[in-house]
Amino acid sequence: MIPAPTPLRVLVLFGFLCSCSVRGAAQDSRQTSVPASGRPAPQSGNSITAVPNRPTFSNTAETVQTGVFEIEYGFEAANGHQNINGLLKLGLVKNLELRFANDPFERDAGTAAFGDSAAGLKYRFIRERGALPTISALYTATLPTAGAGLGVGAPAHSVAVLVSKDFGKHHLDFNESAEWRGRPDAHGYDRDYFTALAYSHPLTSSLGIDAEIAGFSRVNAATPSTLTILGALTYSVSSRLVLDGGCYVAAHGNLPRVTFFAGVTYAVADLYRYLHLAHH
């Protein structure tokens, strides 16, 4: 995730709400099986479709299909910064997704070690229908597993509202979250806010584009606000396998000027189906 000052949150929210008020015949006729720039919605029946959160910092409001185990892994490379980042997801029950994130490798300013980990739950309250967007809530607990000098340095908690909407083949994801970061070697928490608006659109049946503006507000005197602008391409090898690559630029804050990334999302299997078959 990446940072934003208060005016950005207001601007992004206003723009998203205005766009949600637009109505057209295309959005009523769109079926949920139509992919939107590497972010295909889950299909019904026994078919499995990946639900990528990558390559943006924001999360889609859609949840992984019930019983499906899905992985997302990627890497980042910038001047003085490299990491490998991963996310494991399981559709626990309908509308409820269990998540575990970890950075098996992180390097900043010459220091390299294992990164932080995080566990969370995403629950979808409303599924897109007509003018209504998909709306979900996401809770994440961050665990300070990173080596010395890296990561948050203390436990952290965040609660987010996720909104996703399709306008024909145009797809929008809006995130707004509050985070409470523990203070290393001190009592209490520092609070900050994350805001993001992401856009995606297919170029062909397999290739799509993603763009995003995202940021964190100021955490404390040592961690000022940040703002990034992201651009990426996605390629759907199949409904279960999506590749991505691109870069994001630091428009504000103490971040590398340009960071390049690439990654993969893969819906591994319907674990519940395998367990059912094994039982019989």
pLDDT tens profile 185-215: 778 888 999 999 999 999 999 999 999 999 9
For residue 279, with 0-12 CB atoms within 10 Å meaning exposed, 13-18 middle and 19 or more buried, which class applies? exposed
Model confidence at 26: pLDDT above 50: no
Q: What is the pLDDT of residue 223?
A: 82
Q: What is the pLDDT of residue 279?
A: 59
Structure tokens at 48: 């499995």
Give the DSSP letter of residue 150. S
Model confidence at 160: pLDDT above 50: yes
Neighbouring-strand partners of residue 93: 96
**Which of 95 and 115 is assigned the larger pLDDT?**
95
Region 20-36: what's the mean pLDDT? Answer: 35
Task: Please state the φ and ψ torsions of residue 168, each to the nearest 5 degrees.
Answer: 65, -120
Instruction: Look up the CATH number of domain 6-22+35-279.
Output: 2.40.160.40
| Spans of all domains in the chain | 6-22+35-279
Structure tokens at 5: 């000052």
Tally of residues, the chain = 280
Report how far residue 119's alpha carbon sits from residue 102's, in angstroms, rounded to the nearest whole number. 9
| Least reliable range by pLDDT among 35-39, 160-164, 265-269, 275-279 | 35-39
Neighbouring-strand partners of residue 233: 209, 245
Top mean-pLDDT range of 41-55, 179-193, 233-247, 261-275: 233-247
What is the amino acid identity at position 62?
E
- 183-192 confidence digits (pLDDT tens): 877 788 889 9
Model confidence at 11: pLDDT above 60: no
Region 101-124: what's the mean pLDDT? Answer: 89
Model confidence at 17: pLDDT above 50: no
Structure tokens at 223: 């961690």
Q: What is the pLDDT of residue 31?
A: 32
Structure tokens at 63: 């949840």
Average pLDDT, the chain: 84
Q: 153 — alpha (psi -120 to 50), left (phi > 0) or beta?
A: left
